[in-house]
Amino acid sequence: MAAAMVLLPGENIPTDKLPKPKKGKLTLGPGLQHTPPSTISATTAGSLQVDHRKAALWLEHAGGRYQPSVGDLVIAQIHHSSVETFSCALTPHTSFAILGQLAFEGVSKKTRPQLKAGDVVYARVSKASKWEDVEIECFNSATGKAEGMGQLKGGMVFDVRPAFARRLMMGTDKEGVSKGGVVVLEEVGGKVKFEVAVGRNGKVWVDSGSVRETVMIGHLLRGADEGGWDVEGQRKAVKKALRDV
Amino acid sequence: MPHATRPSTNESAFVLSALRENLRLDSRALDQYRPISLKFSSDPDVYGQTDVRMGKTRVICNVSCEVITPYSDRKFDGVFNINCELSPLIGAGVEIGRPDQAELLLSRLLEKSIRRSNALDTESLCIIAGQKCFHVRADLHVLDHDGSILDACCLALVAALQHFRRPDYEVHGEQVTVFDVREREPVKLTLQHQPFCVTTSYYDAGTIMVQDATLLEEQCREGEIVVSMNRHGEVCQIAKYGGVPVDALSVLSVVKQSWEKVKMMDSVVREALSKDERERDKGGRMKAELSAENERVMERPVG
């Protein structure tokens, strides 16, 4: 893939860019809309990404606004609790997401989770539609296990852009190269022990033993996000930061 | 629409424990200001427009003037107004025309620091007593909020007032001719002194004092003390609206710390102003040749 094509909202994708699907079905990802019979247009501004193997296309945009979609892991802050549910905020100034009080591992009607306003949980979006409240859960409803979700105690929550959070969660491909181009956490993890949880809504929770180390990790995350450091730049910054601590 | 979320318990606990270890999230010292960037309008005909950035906080100020009839109870004074607005660009919770408490406090503190301290001499704005005077208005817009908006607003305003030039005029008996900028070089305003505001946030029952707090630090603080003073050490006002009680000796040490910061802000403004003046004079025109202004005696008349 050469330089990715940048599209503005409303532009149609030229047919020569479309991948040839084997089964005749093309998967459209975020940022694209299909108007039958055969026009695909962009709904946001972004660069077009094509995966020929899976016959999928989507737009990558560096937006600052997070929109919940099913299956996303998010860091939610409890705002208030009611009889059966907690109302949580995923992003400021938006409607609350509903977290059922029983949507945790190992709770029953008699033993409810002890969460207060201001507590932070790691959850997965179970329902997200334009016309209903977003619903999140802190356990895998199929298996009943927490799988790392639940209340996050201590540590610090840093704000990053949702696109950066997505890159952080992309993982590594077969050669061990980070797909998202973000290596700060792995590099720092080589020297410093810490726990981290990344929320797709633009929040990263970090808990290291000491305040100084957590501040350093937060500083590195912010630099990689806003400073736009590439992989080499990130490695250099991590080395420098580790020397100072 | 719910209000902006307060920081989570994790965040406020962390900020507090970091401050107890003398650490801030952006690795500054407790009394260190973020780098201040002050820019004037690049248009050579436009005076009195400033753009101030302190970290992510951004404020713009525009000073303008017109000729009006003075108030009947203040025949010898011109009129000076400050209008400060938080723009909805800051966040979804801000609406124009419906000021919330933070905006009202911001306006009130700016009024106290600049208008009531007579930073701008309104008598110098009078053209003919009782008939004509200048109405100088300063409009401030806060475009981005990451803490310390009052400090940034005051700096933007004082820099804009020092940069602004009003039209020159001549009085012959009852006849006033106000010259256009193309006819005569406009004239600077008479500022008696340049006040700046320094906000000090405190934590842990007043034992930890922090200057230039970011938005997160402001949301976790127990209270704040705002000191307005000029570089000579003359205090215009001290404000502490509620918050956890602080003992008097701490307030005195805060005032002393603020003096150092005010001197720093004053040098930032002076440097930016002289740099701007050098750039505007690039054509080699001698400002002294073009100005119709006589040498002014800068003291207030006695009595």
User: Best interface-test mutation with B: which of A93, A204, A225 has the largest number of B CBs within 10 A?
Assistant: A93
Contact B92 A153 (CB under 8 A): no
Given A125, A153, A181, the domain boundary residue is A153
Q: Supply angle C-alpha B303, B196, B120, rounded to 5.
A: 35
Question: Tokens in use for B160?
Answer: 């804009």
Supply the CATH number for residue A96's domain.
Answer: 2.40.50.140
The interface pTM score, or ipTM, of the predicted complex is: 0.86
CA distance linking residue B210 with residue B7, whole number of Å: 18
CB pairs under 8 A between A and B: 63
Chain segment B195-223, per-residue pLDDT in tens: 999 999 999 988 999 999 999 999 999 99
Range of the domain at A40: 6-60
The pLDDT assigned to B95 comes to 81
Contacts of B27 in chain A (CB under 8 A): 215, 219
Q: Which residue of A has its CA nearest to B19?
A: A211
Give domain status of residue A80, yes or no: yes
CA distance linking residue B102 with residue A88, whole number of Å: 25
A93, A119, A156 member nearest B1 (Cβ) = A93
The pLDDT assigned to B290 comes to 62
> Does position B232 have pLDDT exceeding 70, yes or no?
yes
Chain segment A194-207, per-residue pLDDT in tens: 999 999 999 999 99
Give domain status of residue A84, yes or no: yes
The pLDDT assigned to A214 comes to 93
Check whether residue A95 and residue A142 sit in a common domain: yes
A118, A155, A218 member nearest B6 (Cβ) = A118
Contact B1 A214 (CB under 8 A): no
Beta strands per DSSP E along chain A: 6-7, 27-28, 32-35, 39-42, 46-51, 56-60, 73-81, 85-89, 97-100, 120-127, 135-137, 150-152, 156-159, 194-199, 203-208
Supply the CATH number for residue A193's domain.
Answer: 3.30.1370.10
Give the residue-averaged pLDDT of A132-161.
Answer: 90
Give the residue-averaged pLDDT of A119-148.
Answer: 89
A92 contacts: CB under 8 Å, gap ≥ 6? B4, B5, B91, B92
Beta strand pairing call for A194-199 and A150-152: unpaired
The full length of chain B comes to: 303
The pLDDT assigned to B289 comes to 65
Q: What is the pTM of this model?
A: 0.87
Cβ burial B188-208 (10 Å sphere, 16+ → b, else e): ebebebbbbbbbbbbbeebeb
Chain segment A61-100, per-residue pLDDT in tens: 777 788 888 888 999 999 999 988 999 999 888 889 999 9
Contacts of B21 in chain A (CB under 8 A): 211-212
CA distance linking residue A23 with residue A17, whole number of Å: 18
Give domain status of residue A238, yes or no: yes
CA distance linking residue B57 with residue B33, whole number of Å: 12
The residue with greater pLDDT, A39 or A208, is A208
Q: Give the number of domains in chain A.
A: 3
User: Which band of pLDDT confidence, cut at 50, 70 and 90, is reported for residue B282?
Assistant: low
Q: CB–CB of B220/B208 below 8 Å?
A: no
Contact B9 A119 (CB under 8 A): yes
Check whether residue A164 and residue A235 sit in a common domain: yes
In degrees rounded to 5, what are phi and psi of residue A28?
-105, 130
Chain segment B23-81, per-residue pLDDT in tens: 999 889 999 999 999 999 988 888 999 999 999 999 999 999 999 999 999 999 999 99
Cis peptide before A37 (omega within 30 of 0): yes
The residue with greater pLDDT, A189 or B5, is A189
User: Which band of pLDDT confidence, cut at 50, 70 and 90, is reported for residue A225?
Assistant: confident
Q: Which of the residue ranges A127-136, B135-144, B225-234, B259-268 would you say has the lowest mean pLDDT?
A: A127-136
CA distance linking residue A128 with residue A97, whole number of Å: 9
Contact A93 B13 (CB under 8 A): no
